[in-house]
Amino acid sequence: MQERPLKVAIVGFGFMGQTHAAAWARIPEAQIKAVFEVPARAPQIRHMVSEYGAKVVTNYEEILEDEEVNVVDVCLPTFLHREYVVKALKAGKHVLCEKPIALHLWEAREMIDAWKSSGKKFMIAHVVRFFPEYKRAKELVDSGALGEPRIARTYRYSAFPPWSVKGWFGVQRLSGGVLVDLAIHDMDFLRWIFNDEVARVYALSPERRVVKGITAQDHGIALLKFKKGGIAYVMASWAYPKTVPFSTYFELVGTGGILQFDNRSTAPLRLGTSEQYSTIQTYPEDPYYLEIRHFADHILKDVELMVTPEDAYKALEISLAAVKSSLIGEPVSLPLKEEVIP
């Protein structure tokens, strides 16, 4: 067998770690060498990990010291990103890290600084940029078909992920809540498609939680004002009942017309059984695979990054401004001077 140049360690094997592993397994130039997990979870993932021909490691230093490993894919909870990413970059590894980049701007800055002095490749996995409907919208806007972007709406909602009710996700200071963890997809996409920076954010998030037993904000609505005068409405929610499938909606109006897509009503497949009825998007290619393929190409062929660490920093800044606004009840101007995640 030909030598595979990318030796990958996946750090954290929860939902995202498993999703990334499935995508890495499809990259011919890559081999998953190791998966890091905490000792308590190691036994239950051993079987899945061995299917990739990889070993389970419970000591992160072991991955950092493994000279063969040249790619570290951090799929840990957000509050751990900075520590694990910085260590990996300093150990000379290329790093892919789940979104959001971090929970605080100082952490994101430290990660970016570590990347810049490392000479290694670093990407934050803002997967929405690899979803074909979002990508198409961006291409259409860039083609000039819509004129100057003016006003946009984004919705992104589902029930609270059932695997995380007792975990870090439901803790505001660990996940940042729905405005950071979920809305950040649209914050990033809006910056990208408006091709502009956000000047001001106003957001509302209910004090009362719909999801029982969590502290994280589970519903949020935000207004973004862009520097060139565009505006956008963002609705992100984990407060929907579990009967509602994960849903997204996007519209953008420009001086030349309107563009819309609605994943609630536009899908090629529906399934109805005695238990459920669901609308299914069948993607021509798995966006997570496309994302990881892109990062592999960035490492191997120096293909230009579609989403830079600075983009990830800016998206976080918008989300944090939304959280802050929702807490103080005032619009918040960017750049952010003081962060608030209680």
Partner 1 sequence: MRKFKAALLSFAHVHAPSYARVLKELPNVDFVAIWDDNEERGKAFQKRYSVERYYSDLERLFAENRDLDFVIVTSENARHYEYVKIALEHDVHVLCEKPLTTNLGHADELVSIARRRGLKLGTCFVMRFHSATIQAYNMLRGGDIGLPISITTTNHGTCPYKAAHWFVEPELSYGARVNLREGDPRYRGGSITDHTVHCADLLRWFLGSEVEEVYAEVGANIRSDLEVEDNALVMLKFRNGVQASIDCSWSRPEGVYPTWGDVNLYIVGSNGVIEIEAFNQNVHLATWKMKRLVYSYWGPDVDKVMITQFMKAIEEDSEPKASGWDGRQATEIMLAAYRSIKEGRPVKLPLL
Residues that bind partner 1 in the complex, under the rule CB under 8 A? 148, 150-151, 153, 155, 200, 202, 204-208, 210, 219, 221, 223, 225, 228-231, 233, 235, 237, 239-241, 244, 253-255, 257-258, 329-331
Considering the complex, state which of residue 174 and residue 224 has its C-beta at the smaller distance from partner 1.
Answer: 224
CB 252, min distance to partner 1, A:
10
Considering the complex, state which of residue 81 and residue 150 has its C-beta at the smaller distance from partner 1.
Answer: 150
CB 190, min distance to partner 1, A:
13
Measured distance CA(40)–CA(260) in Å, rounded = 45
**Beta-bridge partner residues of 153:** 233, 251
Backbone φ and ψ of 296, nearest 5°: -60, -40
Closest listed residue to residue 122, CA positions, set 311, 322, 264, 309: 309
Considering the complex, state which of residue 17 and residue 220 has its C-beta at the smaller distance from partner 1.
Answer: 220
Considering the complex, state which of residue 69 and residue 239 has its C-beta at the smaller distance from partner 1.
Answer: 239
CB 258, min distance to partner 1, A:
6
Measured distance CA(342)–CA(340) in Å, rounded = 6
Q: What are the structure tokens assigned to 291, written together?
A: 């994302």
Q: What is the three-class DSSP state of 228? A: coil
Closest listed residue to residue 281, CA positions, set 270, 267, 271: 267
The 3-class SS string of 130-167 reads HCHHHHHHHHHHHCCCCCCEEEEEEEEECECCHHHCCC
Beta strand pairing call for 149-157 and 247-254: antiparallel
Contact 100, 339 (CB under 8 A): no
Backbone φ and ψ of 160, nearest 5°: -65, 130
Considering the complex, state which of residue 168 and residue 240 has its C-beta at the smaller distance from partner 1.
Answer: 240
Considering the complex, state which of residue 31 and residue 237 has its C-beta at the smaller distance from partner 1.
Answer: 237
**For 294, which DSSP code?**
H
Longest alpha-carbon distance in the chain: 61
Measured distance CA(168)–CA(174) in Å, rounded = 6
CB 217, min distance to partner 1, A:
11
Contact 63, 69 (CB under 8 A): yes
CB 330, min distance to partner 1, A:
6
Measured distance CA(104)–CA(11) in Å, rounded = 21
CB 244, min distance to partner 1, A:
7
CB 230, min distance to partner 1, A:
6
Considering the complex, state which of residue 25 and residue 151 has its C-beta at the smaller distance from partner 1.
Answer: 151
Considering the complex, state which of residue 164 and residue 237 has its C-beta at the smaller distance from partner 1.
Answer: 237
CB 283, min distance to partner 1, A:
25
CB 154, min distance to partner 1, A:
11
Considering the complex, state which of residue 79 and residue 155 has its C-beta at the smaller distance from partner 1.
Answer: 155
The neighbour count for residue 167, using CB atoms within 10 Å, is 14
Measured distance CA(257)–CA(41) in Å, rounded = 51
